[in-house]
Amino acid sequence: MITALNAAELREAIAPGKSVGLVPTMGALHAGHVSLLSRARAENDVVVMSLFVNPTQFNDPDDFDKYPRDLDRDRRTAEEAGVDIVFAPEAQTMYPTGFDTVVTVRALSSVLEGASRPGHFAGVCTVVAKLLNAVAPTRAYFGQKDYQQLQVINRMTRDLNMPVEIVSCPIVREADGLAMSSRNVRLSEDDRKAAPVLSKALAYVQDIADTGVHDAYQLRAWLAQTIEVEALAKLDYAVIVDPCDLKEVDTIDHGAVALVAAAFGSVRLIDNRILRPASGPEVRR
Ligand code: AMP
């Protein structure tokens, strides 16, 4: 496995004419990241994992400072997962003095995570655009865990004619349903016990939909109430939206995704579930 620190070293390491899979990460790797790496390994000649805790996508400096970092452990995990090249630039390499460009996907970035975390998606889009330009991958892999991010990146690559296939990978969960996240290690013992309420509420809403309730307003109310019963959860949003434009829907009949965000202590967690109407197949786009 090669470690590249800048775009020139990357170009040297990637043999021409090979299919390349890129998995962008911020490190603190867990089984969710490994699932993306395994998929990339299965589908490409060369696998590149970027490892960069991108300062511009953190609207909260405390969250950036406390973000878990362990480069040596991450390099071992990446090697075991079959990564060929780790791209681990310094912030100064990504954003040298005079850096002055921002990539913004407007409407999709203004709601939900974008509303709660001003500037977050501009930071994500700008860094992902730089990574896509530096690596020039055939495919780039993103987790459904960050559902809105996935839709924002899809929009950006389509709008800007970026020649890459965006691959969506399913959410990997702990045994009790909690979506794996690098931030989970920062949960207190009590908050860790409370946090699975998010995935339970999402599963519960699908159960209710399965009984024939397709009215999104009713389902949304169930979703919010189930989370609010947990005293340690401070609900930010619980919505049921169109899978592509993320606008709230009236019914789940034409496909919908339920998205939630809540804080447990100082740790903000998100989760989601693609909802299917009882009689139809699960909608994936
Ligand atoms: P991060 O390091 O948190 O920026 O995540 C890097 C990539 O891993 C993103 O595309 C995430 O959506 C994805 N990811 C994070 N957690 C999970 C998970 N539990 N299951 C699947 N993918 C995940």
Domain boundaries, the chain: 2-169, 182-275
Q: Is 26 in the pocket of ligand 1 (CB under 6 A)?
A: yes
Ligand 1 center–CA 212 separation, angstroms? 32
Q: Looking at domain 182-275, which CATH architecture does it have?
A: 2-Layer Sandwich (3.30)
Q: Is 33 in the pocket of ligand 1 (CB under 6 A)?
A: yes
Ligand 1 center–CA 22 separation, angstroms? 13
How do residues 118-150 score in pLDDT, each as one tens digit?
Answer: 999 999 999 999 999 999 999 999 999 999 999
CATH node for 2-169: 3.40.50.620
Q: How far is CA 25 from CA 51, 71, 139, 190, in A?
A: 5, 12, 15, 28
How do residues 71-99 score in pLDDT, each as one tens digit?
Answer: 999 999 999 999 999 999 999 999 999 99
pTM confidence score: 0.96
How do residues 211-265 score in pLDDT, each as one tens digit?
Answer: 999 999 999 999 999 999 999 999 999 999 999 999 999 999 999 999 999 999 9
Q: Is 53 in the pocket of ligand 1 (CB under 6 A)?
A: no
Q: Is 29 in the pocket of ligand 1 (CB under 6 A)?
A: no
- Hey, do 2-169 and 182-275 end up sharing a CATH topology, with the first three levels equal? no
Query: SS3 letters for the chain?
Result: CEEECCHHHHHHHCCCCCCEEEEEECCCCCHHHHHHHHHHHHHCCEEEEEECCCHHHCCCHHHHHHCCCCHHHHHHHHHHCCCCEEECCCHHHHCCCCCCCCCCCHHHHCCCHHHHCCCHHHHHHHHHHHHHHHHCCCEEEEEHHHHHHHHHHHHHHHHCCCCCEEEEECCCECCCCCECCHHHHHCCHHHHHHCCHHHHHHHHHHHHHHCCCCEHHHHHHHHHHHHHCCCCEEEEEEEEECCCCCCECCECCCCEEEEEEEEECCEEEEEEEEECCCCCCCCCC
Clarify whether 254 is annotated catalytic. no
Of 30, 33, 120, 214, the catalytic one is 33
Taking the C-alpha atoms of residue 16 and residue 281, their distance in angstroms, rounded to an integer, is 41
